[in-house]
Each structure stands twice: as C-alpha cells, then as structure tokens.
Chain A
Amino acid sequence: MGVSAKLGNLGVVTTTLEQAVNWGRTGAMWPLLFGLACCAIEMMATQASDYDLSRFGMELNRASPRQSDLMIVAGRVTRKMAPVVRQLYDQMADPKWVISMGDCASCGGVYNNYAVVQGVDEIIPVDVYVAGCPPRPEQLIHGIMTLHERVKGERISQWA
C-alpha cells in the first residue's frame, strides 16, 4: 500500500534542489532595519500598507544583521558612516544581498564632496542599483523583483 492509496492523490511536483532553495530564499528575504537618509522614508512607505512589501515575504525588517538576508542601503553613506556599513555587512550571515537604493548610495548623487562615499559599491559589493532621488516605492519594488529574478537563477556552484 503506497502513500497515495493511504492519503489520496497528493499531486506530485518534481523540481530540483536548486529551484526549491531559491524559491525559499526569494519568498522570505528579510531586509536589515537600516536607513541612512531621505530614501529611508520611501523605504518605509514601501513597507507600509499602501505598497505592502509583505506581499513578497518581506513583512519584517530585522533589527539585527545576524537575522537578515538583504541590506537596502537607503541614502548617502558618509565617510564616517562607511566603516559601520561595512561592519554591518560583514556581520550578516550568508547568503546575503545588497540593494543600493537611490542616486546617493549608487554614485554619490549630488553630494560630490569630501564627506560622502561616491557609491556604496566602494565599500560593499552591490547586487542591484535602484536609480531615483529618491526612488518611488514602485521603483524599489522593481529593484527587489530584479534581485528575486537574479536569486532564482543562481546555481548550486554559486551558493556560498
């Protein structure tokens, strides 16, 4: 007597380990509770009820880097803040991803001066850049979707 005879027709789905794990990773990608400037306001709006980021399994921002998968660098990174950002990134457990949100985080934006890091990619590796000053919540969601597509395409050989 097989399982199907005991429990009825379960419906069998065949998949690969890669796809199952990547689906799990994209379905519950928790961002780090971390905002640096005005872009963080748009990030909060993205999480609030109008845009509702929890539709994509991101309903809570973890206040600890140990519990988060995704770092959304929302705002300009000053050179005084840069070591802190790098340390937060180093404290995050693998697998981890970084979205650079807005012009300032991506390339310095209008703050082309001595005090601001000209792009957060000088201190941490970035997966997706979101343009805009600040980007609207739709743009941030599009950036997150782009990252999800990228994660879904990852192979076992690339897993950390």
Chain B
Amino acid sequence: MRIPEAKDPVAALRTALPEAVLYAKDFRGETTIVVHPQHLVAALQFLRDTPGLVYNFLSDISSVDYYPEPPTEQRPERFAVSYHLLSMLYKRRIRVKVFVAEDEPEVDSITSLWPAANWLEREIYDMMGIRFRGHPDLRRVLLAEDWDGHPLRRDYPLGYEQVQFSFNVEEIIKHKPLAEE
C-alpha cells in the first residue's frame, strides 16, 4: 500500500474548516494552531482522520493559566487548553490550542475521539477547574474528593504554614493545630 504524500496541517485545516482556525504559529519547529472552542472537536477529528495528516496519537492534554497578565489579541482569555498530537505515520507533532473564558471555564470533551483523554481531562478539571462538556465521568482524579478549589490556578495559595526559624518558632507553635489523643 502506498502512503499518501504528507500535507501541510495548517493549510489543510484552513481550507477544510476556515471558520475554526483563529491563527497558527511556528516556534522552533513546533507548530501551534489556535482554534475556536466551538470547532475544537471537528478540527481534531479532521487532523486525525484526513489522509496526509493522520495525527492519530494523543500524546497529552495540558492547560495554562495566564492569571496576572491582562488579555491580549493573541491571548484573548485567561485559560488555555493544549492538545498535543503525534502522527505515528509521518513522525511529526502538532499542538492544537483553545482559549477558555474565566467566568465559564468549559470546553468540549474529546473522549469521543480518543478514550485516553478521559483521565487527562479529569486531571485538568481537578487541578485547573476547567470543565469538559460531554465527559462521561468528570470527577477529581488526584486530590481528595472533598478538596476545596483547584491548586494549579495561579491565584490559589501556595502553602499554609510559615517556615520555622528560631526567632518565630514560638509564635508558629502557638497557632499550630496539634492533634488530640
């Protein structure tokens, strides 16, 4: 069987789904396509199933919180979710990125395309608080079920105890919640 010629993913996606692509950029040989959240599933399915692209392996899903910085034209919202795809046929990678609004952090789940996305999306929900529409079982995966908040958000407090030195140890011990028998 002849393997079809490899296509340029950005041009192919722009031709097939022109309304989906916000912009694309290249940085040190890595291609990133920023897509509109409404067309995320369609764009990923196109990248996976089109001959000449065949990004058939979902390496990872990651999320970003740009909290203290104000939004810009390139980065319109506070959160972003990145999908890292690998084409095992053409031995190349691509990153697909969507921006997620702060007041309603929700994107479509891609568990219908890759079942492996299940726990990756649960982890992002757990640590970053971004919900996934259509996920079959969106529970916390790392932290305890009754955990308050989402710790990887930039506005989450880092620790909850001062470091003890000889000058402040008595003050800290005074407020330490020691256990009873």
Residues of A at under 8 Å CB distance from B?
79-80, 86, 107-108, 112-115, 118-119, 121-125
> Which A-B residue pairs are the 4 nearest by beta carbons?
A118-B161, A112-B159, A80-B144, A113-B159
Residues of B at under 8 Å CB distance from A?
143-144, 151, 156-161, 163-164, 176-181
Interface of chain B: mostly helix, strand, loop or mixed = loop
Q: Chain B's nearest CB lies how many Å from the CB of A107?
A: 6
The residue from A86, A108, A112, A121 contacting B178, defined by CB atoms under 8 A apart: A121
The residue from A112, A114, A119 contacting B151, defined by CB atoms under 8 A apart: A114
Instruction: Find chain B residues with CB under 8 A from A114 CB.
Output: 151, 156-160
Instruction: Find chain A residues with CB under 8 A from B143 CB.
Output: 80, 115
Compute how far the CA of A42 lies from the CA of B77 in the bound complex, rounded to whole angstroms. Answer: 49
Interface of chain A: mostly helix, strand, loop or mixed = loop
The residue from B176, B177, B181 contacting A125, defined by CB atoms under 8 A apart: B181
Interface pair B144/A112, CB less than 8 Å apart: no
Instruction: Find chain B residues with CB under 8 A from A80 CB.
Output: 143-144
Interface pair A124/B161, CB less than 8 Å apart: no
Compute how far the CA of A124 lies from the CA of B178 in the bound complex, rounded to whole angstroms. Answer: 8
Interface pair B179/A122, CB less than 8 Å apart: yes
A sample of 11 more A-B contacts (CB under 8 A), given A114-B159, A121-B179, is A80-B144, A107-B164, A108-B161, A113-B158, A114-B156, A115-B143, A118-B160, A119-B176, A122-B179, A124-B179, A125-B179
Q: Chain A's nearest CB lies how many Å from the CB of B61?
A: 21
Q: Chain A's nearest CB lies how many Å from the CB of B179?
A: 5
Name which residue of chain A comes closest to B145, CB basis.
Answer: A80
Compute how far the CA of A123 lies from the CA of B164 in the bound complex, rounded to whole angstroms. Answer: 19
Please name 23 pairs of A and B residues whose Cβ atoms are closer than 8 Å in the assembled complex, sorted by A: A80-B144, A86-B179, A107-B164, A108-B161, A112-B159, A112-B161, A112-B163, A113-B158, A113-B159, A114-B151, A114-B157, A114-B158, A114-B159, A115-B151, A118-B161, A118-B176, A121-B176, A122-B177, A122-B178, A122-B179, A123-B179, A125-B179, A125-B181
Compute how far the CA of A121 lies from the CA of B181 in the bound complex, rounded to whole angstroms. Answer: 10
Instruction: Find chain B residues with CB under 8 A from A115 CB.
Output: 143, 151
Instruction: Find chain A residues with CB under 8 A from B164 CB.
Output: 107
Instruction: Find chain B residues with CB under 8 A from A124 CB.
Output: 179
Q: Chain A's nearest CB lies how many Å from the CB of B127?
A: 11
Q: Chain B's nearest CB lies how many Å from the CB of A106?
A: 10
